[in-house]
Copies of this chain bind each other. A is one copy, B any other.
Amino acid sequence: MTKFMDVHRGMVGITAEQLHEAHDADLAIQAEEGVTFEQAWADPDDGVVYCLSEAPDAEAVQRIHQRAGHPADEIHKVPLIV
């Protein structure tokens, strides 16, 4: 398992409630791909959302995000953490 940071753009004006709903939609199906979404951070002004997860590979992360209705624009494997 590896950590991944993925990025969603075009989310200008996202609210706390919308972020929670999107995260909950991921959590509801993440186990089907062996993914664990850990945390997400949103910048409503610039419309950027960052999601940290642990997953078998980037494709598994993307499949969950796609099925939940919000495909990621970038997914980066982040094996180095400090």
Contact = CB atoms under 8 A, between A and B. Distances in A.
Interface in A36-82: 39-46, 48, 50, 52, 76-82
Contacts of A29: none
How many A residues are at the interface, by size bracket? 20 to 34
Contacts of A44: 79-80
Q: How many copies does the complex hold?
A: 2
Given A5-B41, A5-B43, A41-B3, A80 B19 contact: yes
A23 to B, nearest CB: 5
A16 interface: yes
7 contacts: A16-B82, A20-B82, A40-B82, A41-B78, A44-B80, A46-B76, A48-B76
